[in-house]
Chain A
Amino acid sequence: MSTPTIAPTARQPGTATARKGAIELRQVRKTYGEVVAVDRLDLSIQPGEFVTLLGPSGSGKTTTMMMVAGFEEHTSGSVMIDGAPVDSLPPRERNLGVVFQNYALFPHMSARENVEFALRMRRVPKAESRRRADDALDRVGLAGLGGRKPRQLSGGQQQRVALARALVFNPAALLLDEPMAALDKRLREHMQEEIKALQKSLGISVLFVTHDQDEAMAMSDRIVVMKDGRIVQSGPPEEVYNHPVTDWVASFLGDTNLIPATVISREGGEAVVDLGGLGAGRVRDRGARGDKYAVSIRPEHLTFRVAPGRENSGTGELVSSTNLGATIRHRIMAGGRELQLRELSSNGGAAGQPAGATVHVGWDADKAQLLVLEG
């Protein structure tokens, strides 16, 4: 491994406002004996970008983050921070703020001492480090609680301390490893918004690891979906959600209707397909190639129609309607398969229809996605 010859200027203190925090992984591979944890991964994070690695456990997302942080050594490939390779740098020289799953606060230190730790390690004078720690605690809404020990703080407060601690030394980027896993749902949603707001105001790059697709959707500029050590799809949340490239991605990111399809023609981002019992369809096509195809339509993108349509539609029997509070879930048997349709309770819509009624459903061409059926 080569040592970087150019000292990265972004490491200098006082350049917190400068755009920095570009992370790049080139053909990074990690194997444990025979097992390939991460397979030749290419990923680049722009300064100020919030990138989420989303995947089930065992997909290699945490390993990837640990290789960026320097806790895991990659088998081959290269990791660069702000243009300089960091492969031979130990974690403490990578200048990255890391927030761990259970925060990993030092239990015998007060919140302020926890935040001050990185400054102490950098030999920042006592008065300055105290001021900066208090500023950081203030920024995460913990002003005045600096004297408390971690066990005297709630889960949400502990997480704020962990955030302040990871940010106080102006790191090049922030790495968050499932930081909300231990919080209850309400607090989790609140913290998602807070972290996102903090990230925006600081303009810091974030690499975020989660298996929770709602969290990924809510926070990311870009979602990188991982499976079996590889990137399956990468893109802005709406794009990954609305235009998954495989049936696996579609089902991993929420509910969907998967309808096996035969491609008749594909041209200019649109494909004409035969959907079997549901007739002809015209759907979005992002060029995914495979042996078998399907069309994915999210339940909320399927709508009731007053009359049968020529394409992108179906007619069938309403099987059941379940009120879920904010939304109503309808099951419809159409063209020999069960479709799920979700509409807002406030819509009313077909909610009045009894089970067994004949209904017409349809969808917009750009809300249906042609994708590859895996396996």
Chain B
Amino acid sequence: MKRFSAPRAGIRRKPLSLLSLPVFAFLVVPTLIVVPVALNNSRYITFPPDGISLAAVQGFFADPAWTSALSASMQAAAIAVVLGVVFGASAAIGLHGRKFPGQQAVVGLVLAPMIVPTVVLALAFYQFFISVGLVGSIVPIGLAHAVIATPYVYLTTRASLAGLNPALVRSAQSLGAGTLSVFRHVHMPVILPGLISGALFAFSVSIDETVMSLFMQSPGATTLPVKMFTDIQFNLTPKIAVSSALLVTVATIGLLIQVVYVLKRRSTARMMPLAA
């Protein structure tokens, strides 16, 4: 199968890769600077570092204010990933291969959280959760994150469904499969890569989200970015750099999972829909 020859041919073009190298460096280096800063042997944020030590890292994990922020972020992300995957995947499967009046409007609605400015959403969620009395916990933040994570899962799932032969659904039905069996045996194998990358997107969207979390923060429901943002105004502790480094690490791990997964799928069986 010749499907993957095209990207490789692109890399071989030397002049283009020489040009893209500085762009790549510009994108990545500032992000990576937080790592030496986090390992700095100083009580303040400084660069270049004076010496290397794990003091700041240890300090971060010894400080309950920072660890509870980390845990709040993880809880919000867990809610966002689970709900985002369920909503996004359901929307993608439900809208797949169908045509009905107003379909574009429904798609627009699903994608809206990507387009609406976060600060508008933040204000809306803030007022909504106050009016329903759901404040003072991580739940409203997680729910809000789920809303902005859903379009990402929808898009990645929709992309993987594009290769699905609609006759597969019909043939499974004719063979006696109910809705759940059709999902398990027809949709699931096809959308799994889309679901995984969608879940990773949802996770990083939630971990990174600051504005809504700031609006809805409360004691015990302060996420890591919010804690960083509020702290940086008062003291330049290297713990901020530690949390940044932590987020970079988490993002890198997520990316690696995806790369490994994709490579594994390519080397083993490629799931090619027949006669797509």
Using a CB–CB cutoff of 8 Å, the interface residues on chain A facing chain B are 69-71, 90-92, 94, 96-98, 100-109, 117-118, 121-122, 149-151, 158, 165-166, 169, 182
Whole-angstrom distance from the CB of B162 to the nearest CB of chain A? 15
| Set A91, A104, A149, A150: member contacting B167, Cβ < 8 A | A104
Known: A104-B165, A104-B167. A97 touches B174 (CB 8 A): yes
Known: A104-B274, A107-B272. A71 touches B173 (CB 8 A): yes
Going nearest first, the 8 A-B pairs with the smallest beta carbon separation are A102-B275, A121-B176, A104-B167, A118-B175, A104-B171, A98-B174, A91-B173, A108-B189
Smallest CB gap from A103: residue in B: B274
Question: In the assembly, what is the distance between CA of A77 and CA of B275, in Å?
Answer: 34
CB <8 Å contact, A106 and B174: no
Q: CB-CB < 8 A to A151: which residues of B?
A: 270, 272, 274
Known: A104-B167, A104-B170, A108-B189. A169 touches B274 (CB 8 A): no
| Set A69, A108, A149: member contacting B174, Cβ < 8 A | A69
Q: Is B55 an interface residue (CB 8 A)?
A: no
Residue contacts A-B, CB under 8 angstroms, 30 given:
A69-B170, A71-B173, A91-B173, A92-B174, A92-B176, A94-B174, A100-B167, A100-B171, A101-B167, A103-B275, A104-B165, A104-B167, A104-B171, A106-B168, A106-B171, A106-B172, A106-B185, A107-B271, A107-B272, A108-B189, A109-B185, A117-B175, A117-B177, A149-B269, A150-B274, A151-B270, A151-B272, A165-B171, A169-B175, A169-B176
Q: Is B273 an interface residue (CB 8 A)?
A: yes
Smallest CB gap from A109: residue in B: B185
Q: Is B103 an interface residue (CB 8 A)?
A: no
Whole-angstrom distance from the CB of B272 to the nearest CB of chain A? 6
Q: CB-CB < 8 A to A106: which residues of B?
A: 168, 171-172, 185-186, 189
Q: CB-CB < 8 A to B272: which residues of A?
A: 107, 151
| Set B167, B171, B176, B275: member contacting A182, Cβ < 8 A | B275
Question: In the assembly, what is the distance between CA of A8 and CA of B254, in Å?
Answer: 55
Smallest CB gap from A151: residue in B: B272
- Residues 227 to 276 of chain B near chain A (Cβ within 8 Å): 269-275
CB <8 Å contact, B274 and A98: no
| Set B170, B271, B275: member contacting A91, Cβ < 8 A | B170
CB <8 Å contact, B177 and A107: no
Q: Is B17 an interface residue (CB 8 A)?
A: no
CB <8 Å contact, A96 and B181: no
Of the four ranges (under 10, 10 to 19, 20 to 34, 35 or more), the interface on chain B belongs to 20 to 34
Whole-angstrom distance from the CB of A236 to the nearest CB of chain B? 29
Known A103-B275, A158-B274; further 8 A-B contacts with Cβ < 8 A = A91-B170, A91-B174, A98-B170, A100-B167, A106-B185, A117-B175, A121-B175, A151-B272
Number of A-B residue pairs with CB-CB distance less than 8 Å in the complex they form = 80
Q: CB-CB < 8 A to A71: which residues of B?
A: 170, 173-174
Question: In the assembly, what is the distance between CA of A103 and CA of B178, in Å?
Answer: 20
Question: In the assembly, what is the distance between CA of A94 and CA of B167, in Å?
Answer: 17
- Residues 164 to 214 of chain B near chain A (Cβ within 8 Å): 165, 167-168, 170-178, 181, 185-186, 189
Question: In the assembly, what is the distance between CA of A151 and CA of B274, in Å?
Answer: 8
| Set A103, A108, A158, A166: member contacting B271, Cβ < 8 A | A108
CB <8 Å contact, B274 and A118: no
Q: CB-CB < 8 A to A169: which residues of B?
A: 175-176
CB <8 Å contact, B269 and A117: no
Smallest CB gap from A97: residue in B: B174
Q: CB-CB < 8 A to B181: which residues of A?
A: 121
Smallest CB gap from A105: residue in B: B274
Question: In the assembly, what is the distance between CA of A108 and CA of B165, in Å?
Answer: 13
CB <8 Å contact, B178 and A92: yes
| Set B173, B175, B269, B275: member contacting A108, Cβ < 8 A | B269
Q: CB-CB < 8 A to A150: which residues of B?
A: 274
- Residues 131 to 162 of chain B near chain A (Cβ within 8 Å): none
Smallest CB gap from A149: residue in B: B269
Question: In the assembly, what is the distance between CA of A92 and CA of B169, in Å?
Answer: 11
Q: CB-CB < 8 A to A107: which residues of B?
A: 189, 271-274
Whole-angstrom distance from the CB of B29 to the nearest CB of chain A? 42
Known: A104-B168, A104-B170. A92 touches B177 (CB 8 A): yes
CB <8 Å contact, A121 and B271: no
Smallest CB gap from A93: residue in B: B176
Smallest CB gap from A102: residue in B: B275
Interface 0/1 of B52-89, CB less than 8 Å to A: 00000000000000000000000000000000000000
CB <8 Å contact, A90 and B171: no
